[in-house]
């Protein structure tokens, strides 16, 4: 089975879900190249190994090199959902003290938000805003727009990931796309979390309006919503 890589962002953390075999050749090269490409803009990584069926020495070497590259860039790479046979490989190779291993994605992501983490420090630069939308392009625009406006912005494309982030870190405002608004179809825990935060809903027209005008209006709305909220 060829190696497939399913990647998503959870706040500041990038999760790479590996499925298949991590072996020398095309599989190892695809993993190495993918992580190297991500390293241009990201610093905190989690490799989800729950669906890895086999790993050889070259594959393990690729993971070690990826960890080294992340740390050289002042980032970090963690492992989660590690199968028993991979744990044995790590033990035999005496690499259990090299990799930071966690039982689940949530535990691994949470570890990046602990003050002791070696990865990029999640120190807020401004008021915290969590953006939730199913459109990756809209999220990319929002991150850049809000970052340049001085906000500490994080984003997610999944309700479950947004709930995870709200459990482990603080936000002052929640910004949600048209298909992510709290409703009876959403998990009660999500509705409850949203009720505790000032919330701005992006209309469906946001993604098709003039970017400059839409961005300016959004910044004005955010400023107004946060004006009465103590820092």
Structure confidence at residue 92 (pLDDT): 84
pLDDT higher at 171 or 122: 171
pLDDT digits (tens, 9 = 90+) for 7-45: 999 999 999 999 999 998 999 999 999 999 999 999 999
Domain CATH code at residue 200: 3.40.50.2300
Instruction: Give the DSSP letter of residue 227.
Output: T
Q: Are strands 100-102 and 173-176 parallel, antiparallel or unpaired?
A: unpaired
Q: Are residues 62 and 138 in the same domain?
A: no
Structure confidence at residue 230 (pLDDT): 58
Q: Are residues 172 and 79 in the same domain?
A: no
User: How confident is the model over 176-200, as a mean pLDDT?
Assistant: 87
Structure confidence at residue 229 (pLDDT): 65
Rounded distance between C-alpha atoms, residue 185 and residue 179, angstroms: 11
Domain boundary among 112, 145, 176: 112
Structure confidence at residue 115 (pLDDT): 57
Rounded distance between C-alpha atoms, residue 137 and residue 115, angstroms: 31
Domain of residue 78, residue span: 4-112
pLDDT digits (tens, 9 = 90+) for 56-103: 988 999 999 999 999 999 999 999 999 999 998 888 888 888 999 999
170 within a domain of the structure (yes/no):
yes
What strands lie across the sheet with 152-156, from one edge to the other?
A: 152-156, 128-132, 173-176, 199-201
What does pTM read for this prediction?
0.81
User: How confident is the model over 185-209, as a mean pLDDT?
Assistant: 87
Residue 208: band (very low, low, confident or very high) from pLDDT cuts 50, 70, 90: confident
Domain CATH code at residue 53: 3.30.750.24
Q: Are residues 153 and 68 in the same domain?
A: no
Indicate the angle between helix axes 159-168 and 105-112, nearest 10 degrees: 40
Q: How many domains does the chain have?
A: 2
- Cβ atoms 182, 195 nearer than 8 A: yes
pLDDT surpasses 50 at 120? no
Structure confidence at residue 77 (pLDDT): 97
Percent of the chain exceeding pLDDT 90 equals 60
Closest CA to 54 of 26, 78, 27, 79: 27
Structure confidence at residue 231 (pLDDT): 54
* In the chain, alpha helices (H): 26-38, 57-72, 84-92, 105-112, 136-148, 159-168, 188-195, 211-226
Domain boundary among 80, 112, 144: 112
Structure confidence at residue 210 (pLDDT): 81
């Amino acid at each position: 089975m060829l190696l497939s890589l399913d990647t998503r962002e959870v706040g500041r953390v990038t999760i790479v879900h590996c499925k298949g075999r991590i072996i020398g050749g095309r599989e190892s090269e695809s993993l190495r190249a993918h992580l190297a490409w991500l390293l241009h803009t990201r610093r905190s990584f989690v490799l989800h190994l729950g669906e890895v069926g086999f790993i050889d020495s070259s594959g393990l070497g690729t993971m070690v090199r990826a960890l080294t590259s992340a740390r050289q860039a002042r980032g970090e790479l963690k492992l989660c959902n590690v199968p028993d046979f991979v744990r044995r490989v790590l033990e035999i190779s005496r690499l259990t003290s090299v990799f930071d291993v966690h039982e689940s994605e949530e535990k691994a992501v949470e570890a990046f938000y602990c003050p002791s983490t070696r990865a990029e420090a999640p120190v807020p630069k401004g008021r915290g805003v969590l953006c939730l939308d199913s459109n990756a392009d809209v999220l990319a625009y929002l991150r850049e727009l809000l970052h340049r406006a001085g906000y500490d912005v994080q984003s997610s494309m999944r309700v479950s990931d947004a709930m995870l982030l709200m459990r482990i870190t603080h936000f002052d405002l929640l910004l949600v796309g048209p298909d992510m608004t709290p409703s009876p179809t959403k998990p009660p825990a999500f509705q409850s979390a949203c009720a505790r935060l000032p919330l701005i809903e992006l209309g469906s027209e946001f993604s098709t309006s003039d970017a400059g005008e839409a961005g300016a209006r959004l910044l004005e709305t955010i400023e107004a919503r946060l004006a009465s909220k103590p820092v």
